[in-house]
Structure 1
Amino acid sequence: MKPCRPRLLLATGAFVALSACAPDISPSSYAVGSVGQVNRTVRGVVISARPVAIGGTQSGVGAGAGAVAGGAAGSAIGSGVRANIAGAVGGALVGGIIGAMAENAVTRQSGTEYVVQTENSALLTVVQGGGQELSVNQKVLVIYGSQSRIIADPS
C-alpha cells in the first residue's frame, strides 16, 4: 500500500480552506460593485426582530475539494491498478458528498429578520447578518439596493 501522508495533508487543507468560504453578510459589508452607487433610503421603526438561520452556500467548492481529496486518498486503496482506480472513484464520490456537506455546514450563519414600518406605513422585511443589533421600536434607516440593509437612524 502506498503511503498517503501527502494525500491526507491535501484533504485536510481542502477542508480547512472551506472555512474561508463564508460570505460576510453584515450590514457593514459592501461588495466592490456597490461602491459609488446611489441607493434610496427611507426612515422607519423596527416593529419586529427575530433570530433566523441563514443557510450555507452550495458553490461546489466543497464538493470539488472533497472529490479531489477523496479521490487522492482512495487511490491508495488496494494493491493493483484496478483496485487503485476503484478506490479513487469511490473516494471521489464519497469525498464530493462530504465536501458539499462540509461547505454547507461551515458557511451556515445566524442572522436577524427585521420587520420595519416606514414613515408612509409600508411594512418591509429584511434579513441581515450580525454586526449591528437593532431593537423593537428603534428608529432606523432602510437602505434599498442589491443588498438592502437596515441601520440605526442617528437623528
Structure 2
Amino acid sequence: MNRSFVTACASALVVSLALSGCATFDGSANVYSASQAQREETVRFGTIESVRPVTIDTSNGQPGFLGALGGGAIGGIAGSAIGGGRGSILTGIIGGIAGAVAGNEVQNHFEKKQGVEITVRLDNGSLRAITQSTDGPMFYAGERVRLLSEGGVTRVTL
C-alpha cells in the first residue's frame, strides 16, 4: 500500500479523534439540555449592577491529552517521512514532540470561550453574580432581568 496514503489515513483518524474530544459545554442562557427541558425553574427579578468579560474554561480543570496525542502522532508520522534510517527515527521523534506541543495548544484554545460575569441586585436587595457565555442578548448595567434557577444552575435572561 502507498506509504503516503497510509500516512494520510492515519493522520485523518488521529485528527478526528482529537476533535471528538473537544469540550461541548455551552454555558448559555439560551441553550437547554434535554434533561433541563420541561423542568420547573425558580424565577427571581432584579437589576443588573455590572457586566464584565471573562473567559470560561470548559475543560473543568482536567488536563487534556487528545490534542497532544493527536498532534504527537501526526508530527511523528510526518517527521518519520523525512530522511532515512536513523535520521528518519530522529526526525520522527522531534516531529512527535513538536506535534504534541502544538496539539495541546490547539486543544487548550478550543476549551476556552468568551463569557460574561453579570452582577444582579435582586428586588430583595441581595446581590448575585452569574457567569454565562456571551451568545444571545447583550446585558447592560441598569437593565431589568430575570434569574432562572434550577438544580444549582442559574441563567440571566431578559
CA spacing shift, 1:5–1:56, aligned 2, 3 Å: farther
Contact 1:3–1:76 (CA under 8 A) maintained in structure 2: no
CA spacing shift, 1:53–1:28, aligned 2, 3 Å: same
Q: Which moved more, 1:112-121 or 1:31-40?
A: 31-40
Question: Are 1:77 and 2:82 an aligned pair?
Answer: yes
Amino acid at match of 1:21: C
2:155 to 142, 149, 155: 149
Secondary structure of the residue aligned to 1:65 is helix
CA spacing shift, 1:106–1:6, aligned 2, 3 Å: farther
CA spacing shift, 1:38–1:86, aligned 2, 3 Å: farther
Give, in angstroms, the shift of residue 127 of structure 1: 1.3
Query: Size of the alignment, in residue pairs?
Result: 149
Q: Which residues of 2 match residues 15-94 of structure 1 at below 5 A?
A: 18=19, 21=22, 23=24, 24-55=26-57, 57=59, 59-80=64-85, 82-94=86-98
CA spacing shift, 1:71–1:147, aligned 2, 3 Å: farther
Amino acid at match of 2:31: S
Secondary structure of the residue aligned to 2:73 is helix
C-alpha distance in structure 2 between counterparts of 1:74 and 1:39, whole Å: 55
What whole-Å deviation, never above 9, does each CA across 1:39-67 have from its counterpart, x for those lacking one? 33322111111222334645433222212
CA spacing shift, 1:21–1:75, aligned 2, 3 Å: same
Contact 1:63–1:99 (CA under 8 A) maintained in structure 2: yes
Aligned alpha-carbon RMSD (Å): 3.2
Gaps of 5+ in 1: none
Secondary structure of the residue aligned to 1:148 is strand
Contact 2:28–2:133 (CA under 8 A) maintained in structure 1: yes
Contact 2:21–2:66 (CA under 8 A) maintained in structure 1: no
Secondary structure of the residue aligned to 1:21 is coil
Using structure 2 for the length normalisation, give the TM-score. 0.73
C-alpha distance in structure 2 between counterparts of 1:55 and 1:151, whole Å: 22
Contact 2:48–2:118 (CA under 8 A) maintained in structure 1: yes
Using structure 1 for the length normalisation, give the TM-score. 0.74
Secondary structure of the residue aligned to 1:41 is strand
